Structures are given as C-alpha cells and as structure tokens.
Amino acid sequence: MLTALDQTSGSVIVMLHIDSNMTPGVPLSVETIKLNVYFTPFILEDISDGEVAIARLTQMFAECIVLPTVQQWEQGMARIGVKLGQRIISGTSRQSHLKFYNYDDPPPLIPSSILPNCSIYRIPGRPVGAVERAIEYFHPRVVDNTPRAQSNSKQHASDIDNDNNITERSMSSFIDLQTMYEGLRAEYKELHQWFVRSQARTAYLEKQLDR
C-alpha cells in the first residue's frame, strides 16, 4: 500500500514499526530493539545524506518512543494478569544477552533489506550516542555540514537574539497597553465630570419646577 501511494502521488514515506511483544527474558534496551522500517527507495538512491537521516530517525525512535512504549505495554498487560516474561535488567546475565558493539568498526548505518529489491528493513538500535560516531565513521563530511553540528556558541548567540526580540516585543506591547490605559482613564475622568455636572443641572431644574 505504501509503495502504491509513493508511485501514484510522487510522495516520500518513512514508516517505523515495533512489536511491543518483545522476546521474553531479553533485556529491554536500545541495543535489543529491532525496528521494522519502510522508506521510499529514492531516499537512499538520490538523496546524498538520506542514509544519515534514516539512521538518526530510527535511533531517535528507538530511544525516545519504543523504550517507553514497550514499558507501558508490559505494565498494562501485567495489571490485567498477563505476564509477558521476566526481564533481565542488570548484572552479568544481562551482558550475556547483548552483542559487543564495535565503535571503531561499526555495522552499516542501514543494513540490507529483508529481501532483494525490497524497501523493508530490519534496523537494530545502537547504544546511546553510537549512531553519531557511526555517521562520523561512514560520512565524516556530514558531521560538519548538518544543523546538529552547529557550534554551541552560534546556537547560544541565536537563542540570545531570539530572547532579545521577544523582550523588545513584550516591552512594546506593555507600552502600548499602558498608553491605552492612560487614554481610557482620561476619558473616564471626563465622563465622570460630565455626569456630576448633569446631576447638578437636573437637581437645579427640579427645584425650579417645584416652585
């Protein structure tokens, strides 16, 4: 369906999927997560940094979405009496379930598709921080050319400029409100004086009519 949508509309699609029913006994960590990923073929074929973008998207999805989702799923199942298997969360037994990750010679950013001429991939998660080191290993020029590689000083200067602009707009709005308040206060004073004079005039006329 996704391929048909791509071909008929010229769209670009990235789909990330994970089954929350993880293998019992396997530690829940980014390294043990394997994502089912579909993306439009031209992302790798025609976009120079497409592989880098997919690698970052999948890693962020694994770290920020999959881990808490699986945890909530297992907790929800436990509340209704369904046990999905005991997790190994610490100790040497946990390490025995994790493959050694080679930071110096990392695995490819995007592995081969599950079948030839297929756009579906099984992409494993990496240890936190490892994807950027892998990108630097395979695409060293990308590290210096992406928005994420901006220096902290430039980002900090940009944040200061934004804060200053917000402060200036806030001060301008405050001055406008203060001016409007003073104008309304002056109008109220004039109306109050007119009302007092009207009352006095009405009282004078009533006395004249009583005579």
pLDDT above 80 (res 76): yes
Tokens encoding 159: 């944040």
Q: How confident is the model at residue 26 (pLDDT cuts 50, 70, 90)?
A: confident
Strand partners, 122: 36
Q: What is the pLDDT of residue 112?
A: 93
Least confident of 43-57, 63-77, 114-128, 171-185: 171-185
Angle at 63 between CA 12 and CA 94, to 5 degrees: 135
Instruction: Give residue-wise pLDDT tens across range 105-152.
Output: 999 999 999 998 888 999 999 998 899 999 999 988 766 555 554 454
Distance between CA atoms of 102 and 80, rounded to whole angstroms?
41
In the chain, % of residues over pLDDT 90? 26
177-198 pLDDT, tens digit per residue, is 667 667 767 777 777 777 777 7
CA-CA distance, 166 to 160, in Å (whole number)? 10
| Average pLDDT score, the chain | 76
Share of the chain above pLDDT 70, in %: 67
Total residue length of the chain: 211
For the stretch 117-135, what's the b/e string if a residue is b when 16 or more beta carbons lie within 10 angstroms of its beta carbon? Answer: eebebebbbbeeebbbebb
Q: Which residue has the higher pLDDT, 102 or 168?
A: 102
What integer pLDDT is reported at residue 168 of this predicted model?
A: 61
Q: What pLDDT does residue 178 have?
A: 66
Q: Which residues contact 95 (CB under 8 A, 6 or more apart)?
A: none
Is the whole model's pTM more than 0.85, yes or no?
Answer: no
Q: What is the pLDDT of residues 150-178, one digit of tens each?
A: 454 455 555 556 655 555 655 555 566 66
Residue boundaries of the structural domains of the chain: 2-149, 154-211
- Using CA atoms of 142, 143, 145, 151 in order, give the dihedral in degrees to the nearest 10: 180
Mean pLDDT of 76-84: 81
Q: If you search the block for the tokens 């439009």, which residue do you land on?
A: 40
Does the pLDDT of residue 94 top 50, yes or no? no
> How many whole angstroms separate alpha carbon 145 and alpha carbon 135?
12
